[in-house]
Amino acid sequence: MKLYASPLQGFTEAPWRNIHQMIFGGVDAYYTPFVRVEKGEFRNKDLRDIAPENNEVSHLIPQLIASTPAEMEKLLGLFIEKGYQEIDINMGCPFPLLTGRHKGSGILPYPSEVRALLDELAHYPDQKFSVKMRLGWEYFDEWKAILPMLNELPLSRVTLHPRIGRQQYKGMVNMKEFAVFYEECRHPLVYNGDLLTVDDIRRIEEGFPRLEGVMLGRGLLSNPALAMDYKRGEITPQAELYGKVKEFHGQLYRHYESYLQGEAQLLSKVKPYWEYLLPDMEKKQKKAILKSTRVEKYLAAVRAALL
């Protein structure tokens, strides 16, 4: 199966992607966190993140989030201008600030709005499109009004996270509903959700043998070697893993240190990675990292944890 790196706002940005491919690899394509139109304009951080000169991974798929054809047109124009030929449409984001505006999974209860958005794709016959979605926003069967529209389109793939938006990332994934979607979807299908170990990936692979692949999100943040381990067919020993994480963290830290202003800004960027990274680490060591308020103490705590 193919392995895709999920787009996670604030985490899987260009520096993370570039360094991850260099040190760990195993990922067939990386998705960018979604780009959106805000007050009629693009956010500068989104423009930096998708800029070709800032990206070194072998296969990058930019993602957009929109609720109207006008927004979609503006975003597609940006991606095409940057030279991208494959584009992903986000219909899965669960965050209320966006779903309340009928973006992400918030558009799923409104099939006519989905149809208006998807009709825009016909104007771009030379582009490849994919869709990342959830089962619905409030109900687990909202996808049933959406999938027939998707099946009509020449999509390269559909990625499904089998939760509803209201769950965000809590509660169980709905594998019963996923199985029905799997049978009815005419496109290459990718599974996304709660894949934390190689065994988790293999269980999905065995249960759904026609899948094109899986998308790794929090599992890849927790264990950056996850995709590599699956591809190699062996688990990276802890000493080797910690050594690679030490190198990975060092490069990521130096990148952000090179342009962020002040200790507080730097720590607010790098510390959140440890909320996911190496969850089996000794709790005392993880706490020392997350509680650090000065760079010197932070770096000392990281060194102690990765010995």
**What's the pLDDT at 218?**
96
Average pLDDT over residues 66-78: 97
Using 50, 70 and 90 to split pLDDT, how confident is the model at 49? very high
Q: Residue ranges of the domains in the chain?
A: 2-232, 238-305
Q: Are 203 and 178 in contact (CB under 8 A)?
A: no
Q: Are 214 and 3 in contact (CB under 8 A)?
A: yes
**What's the pLDDT at 4?**
98
Q: Are 198 and 230 in contact (CB under 8 A)?
A: yes
Would you say residue 165 has pLDDT above 90?
yes
Which SS3 state, helix, strand or coil, does residue 46 take?
Answer: helix
Percent of the chain with pLDDT over 90: 99
Does CATH place domain 2-232 in 3.20.20.70?
yes
Q: pLDDT, tens digit, for every residue of 253-305?
A: 999 999 999 999 999 999 999 999 999 999 999 999 999 999 999 999 999 99
Average pLDDT over residues 71-77: 97
Q: pLDDT, tens digit, for every residue of 75-108?
A: 999 999 999 999 999 999 999 999 999 999 999 9
Other CB atoms closer than 10 Å to residue 8's CB: what's the count?
16
**What's the pLDDT at 271?**
97
Q: pLDDT, tens digit, for every residue of 225-251?
A: 999 999 999 999 999 999 999 999 999
Would you say residue 307 has pLDDT above 90?
no
